[in-house]
């Protein structure tokens, strides 16, 4: 399958995604970005501009590596601030103690507050029935209310991804979509299980931050007034 046999055009390492417009590995893309931002120039190690790259080669000629990136069409535009100055600096991971889990946690907390605000409005608009709970506002969901909540969940997921993984902005749209499609379902399922385990002791399942499915009355998920074809099939 050709889709599963992509290689970096620069160093031939197996890859899955496009970066900066071409098939390139993360290391070569990062090298190209650093070179553009720093404005560095290199001299060929051999002097003929014909250095050959091999997978996992320890000492790549930086001049030929950069020339090859340009030859294959790699592009990176430096962002400018309001004064026209470069708004980017080379990444220095050693200067930050923030872990990946820290970034995920911080982004999720911010998203959580925005989602709660939206879900509160949806609950009122749909007049959802409140589930008895000692410490949390939880409401019995239905398909209509869930459809109003889902778009915000998707939008917030995109925001979380962009905050946690800033390099995603350099991927082409198709690769972004593939990543997102693979993760959205898993994220929703994990969040649902965690919230259910934390807050619900009855036969209900959390479908969002504030709403749940009444698993003992699953037929109420689709109401008679909902515009859904073959309602009976959904309920059986």
Instruction: Kindly tell me if the per-residue pLDDT of 23 is higher than 60.
Output: yes
pTM of the model: 0.50
Mean local confidence (pLDDT), 210-217: 78
Q: Which residues of 87-97 are buried (b: 16+ CB within 10 A; e: fewer)?
A: eeeeeeeeeee
Which of 95, 113, 134 is at the close of a domain? 95
Which of 95, 115, 133 is at the close of a domain? 95
Q: Note the pLDDT tens digit of each residue in 119-166.
A: 999 999 999 999 888 788 889 888 899 899 999 998 898 888 888 877
Mean local confidence (pLDDT), 215-222: 68
Q: Phi, psi (5° rounding) for residue 9?
A: -70, -15
Please check whether residues 218 and 166 belong to one and the same domain.
Answer: yes
Domain that holds residue 157: 100-235
- Locate tokens 């609950």: which residue? 123
Please check whether residues 195 and 110 belong to one and the same domain.
Answer: yes
Are the C-beta atoms of residues 174 and 165 closer than 8 Å to each other?
no
Structure tokens at 138: 């939880």
Q: Note the pLDDT tens digit of each residue in 69-111.
A: 998 888 887 655 555 555 554 444 333 456 778 888 889 999 9
Please check whether residues 229 and 116 belong to one and the same domain.
Answer: yes
What pLDDT shows up at residue 228?
58
Please check whether residues 58 and 83 belong to one and the same domain.
Answer: yes
Please check whether residues 129 and 226 belong to one and the same domain.
Answer: yes
Please check whether residues 86 and 120 belong to one and the same domain.
Answer: no
Are the C-beta atoms of residues 29 and 46 closer than 8 Å to each other?
no
Please check whether residues 91 and 139 belong to one and the same domain.
Answer: no
Please check whether residues 145 and 113 belong to one and the same domain.
Answer: yes
Which of 95, 123, 144 is at the close of a domain? 95
Please check whether residues 170 and 208 belong to one and the same domain.
Answer: yes
Dist CA 180 CA 199 (whole Å): 28
The more confident residue out of 172 and 6 is 6
């Amino acid at each position: 399958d050709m889709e599963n046999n992509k290689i970096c055009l620069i160093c031939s390492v197996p890859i899955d995604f496009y970066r900066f417009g071409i098939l390139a590995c993360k290391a070569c893309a990062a090298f190209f970005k650093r070179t553009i931002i720093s404005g560095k120039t290199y001299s060929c190690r051999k002097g003929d501009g014909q250095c050959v790259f091999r997978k996992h080669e320890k000492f790549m000629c930086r001049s030929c590596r950069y020339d090859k990136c340009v030859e294959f069409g790699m592009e990176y535009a430096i962002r400018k601030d309001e004064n026209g100055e470069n708004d980017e600096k080379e990444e220095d991971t050693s200067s930050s103690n923030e872990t990946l889990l820290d970034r995920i946690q911080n982004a999720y907390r911010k998203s959580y507050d925005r989602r709660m605000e939206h879900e509160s409005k949806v609950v009122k608009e749909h007049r959802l029935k409140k589930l008895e709970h000692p410490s949390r506002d939880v409401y019995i969901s239905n398909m209509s209310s869930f459809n109003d909540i889902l778009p915000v969940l998707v939008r917030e997921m995109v925001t979380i991804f962009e905050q946690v993984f800033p390099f995603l902005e350099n991927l082409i749209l198709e690769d972004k979509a593939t990543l997102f499609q693979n993760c959205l379902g898993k994220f929703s399922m994990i969040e649902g299980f965690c919230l259910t385990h934390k807050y619900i002791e009855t036969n209900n399942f959390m479908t969002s931050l504030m709403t749940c499915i009444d698993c003992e009355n699953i037929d109420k998920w689709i109401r008679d007034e909902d515009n859904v074809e073959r309602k009976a099939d959904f309920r059986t």
